[in-house]
Structure 1
């Protein structure tokens, strides 16, 4: 089936690992919503799931993976799972390893396919990445990468790294295309993954996108997601509604013309999407703390 072929499509990372090009993210989902949306995604053909300790829903995500695999008759290795090193867990190997083992426990998994450093905490990101390299060598993860790294920090990281990051997960959408970062990463065989691919919903009401949606008889979201597909950006899209999860994946039976792809390319506002200065941990001497964002739903059993 055409839709499933699309969802099964992969991109080869720089270490030879195959990563699905389209997946479900669970940012700002509580544990129950994460469980239900992840299970729905897997039984409807999604083969990549993206979470993070920062989201406070790794337990729900893990429960959803278990449920979805059972419902779809799949094995663990059929789904590509990404999670991220929390800012407050950055530091030496012992600290990073302990945090990672806790994440595996919450997820109910023996390994993750991709482990990303969520943000470059200036005082710790070089040491933290070395710890992640060790996790890779130990076989606890299949690939490692980063998220929200600008070119300066990526360059500094690569100077001391033994393993070039496989992924840089960045905000990427029609109005924020991070062109300089995409060009730099591509030149070093680092694959970009898009978070906030719909621009937090802002892009859905863009007049250009709405006009193209009418032209192709598609939703605005499908136009944007198809554009990102044709730009060869791995995309992580969030929804907690099964109908929308299915609709978002229906982008493989039509194609935007080269002219229309370029029209969307021109929507880039040229603004840097990174906001390091807004975070206290941007300062090397800052106390970054150890809190995790939670959308609290405690007291309700996941099983």
Structure 2
């Protein structure tokens, strides 16, 4: 009885956490998209990356109401297909957010460390190409995940993608879970992108030790460094624990709660990354 009561309280806690994240993340990212489209030029690579990051986070927030319902009621009435759809919207966000955050960091790295030599690289056309390739990659990953789920669907409950595997899973299936290609690819991708962000942070930090007057692309040294600090926090707190935790036999739900918070934290990047984020285009310096 105590165990049942404890599990019920835990599920209600998860419902409250996901509900809170949804109520904060959805309006923040919706407003961010509106501001980026209305007040900023899409000729800026940084704006293009942030717009796509906000879209990715908005998709994540859209998946949370169904998670709230499941954890609050313990029931999943929407069927297997919808369940997988929610899982994809939730899990693909780790790929998309980590990639777009890295694009933002690399763009700032080039602007600060190589302001003149990188002008032909930091163009809107190249940014659009990078975004298109990223979404194509995400579609391929989503297809591979669906195929992997389909191989073992008989061994799972309908709601496995929002909670955990059934206790009747065989040892062979557990080994397959541990060697799931999508999880391995996710771990490699997150680690590689983390290294890129760490290197970018170090190079920018060393460059900013010089006189800021020598760096025409830098208007606020503190904001620049806070952007990189926020990016690293996102990786170490949100993405890496969830990615490593996905290899556990029973993936912990609280890790999913933590990774979901990135949709609330990402809008902070927009403020640090763009000068005069709230100002209209005609109010900013040319």
TM-score, with length taken from structure 2? 0.24
Q: Whose RCO is larger (CA < 8 A, sep 6+)?
A: 2
Task: Name the one with the larger helix percent.
Answer: 2
Larger strand share, 1 or 2: 1
TM-score by length of 1: 0.23
